[in-house]
Chain A
């Protein structure tokens, strides 16, 4: 495409719309001047500004995958109740901002009945009553090419099971659940109270014909992070070293002739006891506590049961405000495996190339004295 004459409306590099232009006037007015907040009931946060202005933020869980027709319904509701403004949170929840307290019930009723999204996902730290928020997750079988598990279907199955904790606030502390459908971990779920990660357990099965037809041999070999791929120049195909491969799927990305799927061996690992906030305990990575569960669509009963038992072991035994990692550090891993009914196996002892030793002494998080 040579440079052609561009039409007058043509532009590039203009970036996102300016956020203040899309913000309710009362938020613009009190920008940076909020005084305090209170959670007045599950899903409803009252925010009071220094000016005395009050807004009610009403939060609803969504499935993340949303139809444009549903978004139009949400817009209709925002027009009716919120002067035409709404926002999403960082965890796939949608929020309506009301200035009139008396409209809260009608708003909730309308969203729940018309759209089917439940109100909740909040926590009241002052009172020590915590609700579960939405599961942050990736694409799975809906759109990605390297997943070892589906994402949306598992999230749905888990949230159905833990629904009562979303719409209420009866947990001892914050609990963040995240899911990534392969070890690339697009959602970067490695620092959550509970994370579910799709894992492949078999190297790519090279389809020589497809490789010859579709692939660039050197680029495919070069894409492997562990140098597990050899070019067989004479046969014009590729060979995988099963001892080096760690099933990341990079080669399949480069070359459709390198599928790494085995429906019977792909599945999920479950990790727990990570966090990102610095509150009390500094940030931590999650640790693997279940090495593998199989794919069982459409409802993944084994996976759901394991997640639930980890969740309940914490929910039933943690002290007020304690997150998973604080809880386990207090009671010890041996007790935790007992309480959650999990089996410890040799897979859970780290034998992967550990991160550089020096990293252990670096300060992660922001806990400082001045």
Chain B
């Protein structure tokens, strides 16, 4: 399999989106008009770096920034 590469600019675009809501890779790719595999790689790398994180509905998994998730969870917990 060929190494998947991307630019710092692409990564920044993904990060910006991740700070707005929880995402599925596919939707993120669609909105950003980027290749799904590239987006997946970027998100994985961001998670590795601690700049993105998972959010789960129990059966399915979403991605966002830790800042967003913390804030989102706080709202959900308080009701």
Contact = CB atoms under 8 A, between A and B. Distances in A.
Interface of A: 1-3, 184, 210, 213-214, 216, 218-219, 222-223, 250, 253-254, 256
A256 B57 CA distance: 12
B21 A219 contact: yes
B62 A219 contact: yes
A214 B79 contact: yes
Contacts, number: 28
A191 B58 CA distance: 23
Contact of A216 (B22, B49, B50, B58): B22
Contacts of A218: 21
Contacts of A3: 49-50
B75 A213 contact: yes
Contact of B50 (A2, A184, A223): A2
A195 to B, nearest CB: 20
A1 B79 CA distance: 27
B76 interface: yes
Contacts of B62: 219
A209 to B, nearest CB: 10
A253 B76 CA distance: 11
B18 to A, nearest CB: 13
7 contacts: A2-B50, A210-B79, A219-B21, A250-B57, A253-B57, A253-B58, A256-B76
Nearest to A219: B22
Contacts of B21: 216, 218-219
Contact of A2 (B22, B49, B59, B76): B49
Given A250-B57, A253-B57, A253-B58, A214 B49 contact: no
Contact of A254 (B50, B57, B66): B57
Contacts of B75: 213-214
Contacts of A250: 57
A250 B62 CA distance: 14
B76 A214 contact: yes
Interface in B56-79: 57-59, 62, 66, 72, 75-76, 79
Given A2-B50, A3-B50, A223 B57 contact: yes
A3 B75 CA distance: 28
Contacts of A254: 57
Contact of B79 (A2, A216, A253, A256): A256
A256 B22 CA distance: 15
Given A2-B50, A214-B76, A253-B59, 12 more contacts: A2-B49, A3-B49, A3-B50, A213-B75, A214-B75, A216-B22, A216-B72, A219-B22, A223-B57, A250-B57, A253-B57, A253-B58
